[in-house]
Every structure is written in C-alpha cells, then in structure tokens.
Amino acid sequence: MAGNTLASADYDRKRQSPKDFTLVLGLVADFFCGSGTTLVAAEKVRRRWVGCDLGRWAIHVTRKRLLDLGACKPFEVLNLGKYERQYWQGVTFGDAKDRHLTEQALYEYLAFVLCLYGAQPVPGLTHLHGKKGRALVHIGAVDAPVTIDEISKAIDECVHLKQPELHVLGWEWEMGLAGPNNEYRKGGLMQDEARKKGVKLLLMQIPN
C-alpha cells in the first residue's frame, strides 16, 4: 500500500477518533455511546448518527454535549421501556380471558409499594393510587420511566380533588424531568408546574 491512510486522516486529538472514514451524510452508529464523543464528532462533520446506551446518565451527558454544539440538527431521545412493556403484556396476556391476570399483577404491585411506603390504597381514582397523611401517591411502572405527562395528569387529579400534596414514586424518570442536575427532591420542571397549581410535589426514587 502506498502511503499511510491513517496518517492523513483528520483526528480528534483528545480521543484519536478518525473523522473522515465515512461519507458526508453517511450513517454512524454507536451502540454504547457513553459520553457521546463519537456522536458529537459525527455531528460536527455532517454525518447522520444513531446512538444508544443503557445508562440514563450517559444519554443525559450525550444530549447536553450535542445541544452545546449550537448548530446541532434536531434529534430525538427515545426510551424503549414502555414499548417493550406493552409488547410483553400483549404476548403474555393478549387473550381477553386472561386479562384479569394483568389487573391482578398490577394490583399486587401497587399494594406492595404502597405498603413499603407506609401509604394506604385509594381505589376509584385514575392517576392516583394511595394516600399517606395529607399527600396523595402516584406509583410509576416497574419497567418504564415516569413521564412528564404522567405526572401532569396526577397533578390535575389532585387539583380536581382539592388535595395540596402529591408524592410520585418511580424507578426511572423521563429525560429532563428532574431538572438540569437530576436532583429529584430539590425540584425541577414538574415541581414548578405543580406549584403554580397549588400542589406540593415530591419525587421519590425507588428504591430509596
């Protein structure tokens, strides 16, 4: 081979990542994107990209680095947890005659978490599952992040019931829900929204 292809490549000196081994508008995929170095490099040189990671902090850091570029093209952050759950429920409990099994499993899950939290079940509500002292309680799914829309509906139900406090218990949280520093107790987007409606909102991590 004449010459050294690597020597003439444009490198990102911090990580020694070659940038010119793909065509402009080509697709770059990083399935363990970590802090997002590959995706940032791809965006800078006009490559399309797809990245994924199991860690929500990795996604948070990658998202922030991409937004900090300024000229970054629009992109989406997607979480497959909810879709996987729906698929599993459809395969496992798809038969109408077995639907009560799903409802029973959900009831037992909610009752178990409420008991551990020291709360009492409250039947008949749409987005609220229990009560602890003067606070109503919403419990997120075990296999999907608690979403902004989910909390918003629980807040609206508290307003309708004229209840001043809401505790939301979740295993994971939608990106950006807890504010820039991911400090669930100190407040973020939804705490501000709840405050405007006269509801004190507390986000609680499971396990705690």
Please state the domain extents for the chain.
6-67, 97-205
pLDDT of residue 178: 62
Alpha helices (runs of H) in the chain, residue ranges in sequence order: 37-44, 56-67, 81-93, 99-117, 148-161, 189-196
- The kind and range of the H/E element at 27 are strand 27-30
The CA-atom distances, in angstroms, between 46 and each of 10, 16, 17, 52 are 14, 19, 15, 19
Q: What is the pLDDT of residue 6?
A: 44
Peptide bond into 180 cis (omega under 30): no
Q: Each residue of 149-183: b (16+ CB within 10 Å) or e?
A: ebbeebbebbeeeebebbbbbbbbbbbebbbeeee
- Residue 185: the pLDDT is 63
pLDDT at 3: 44
Q: What are phi and psi of 198, to 5 degrees?
A: 80, 25
* Residue 68: CA count within 13 A, CB half-sphere: 11
Residues 46-85: pLDDT tens digits?
A: 899 999 987 777 888 998 999 999 888 888 887 765 555 4
DSSP 97: G
Distance CA 200, CA 192 (A): 9
Kindly report the backbone phi and psi dihedral angles of residue 173, in degrees, each rounded to the nearest multiple of 5, phi listed first: -130, 145
Name residues of the chain where pLDDT drops below 70: 1-20, 80-102, 178-187, 208
Q: At 43, list the tokens.
A: 């965006």
pLDDT at 199: 96
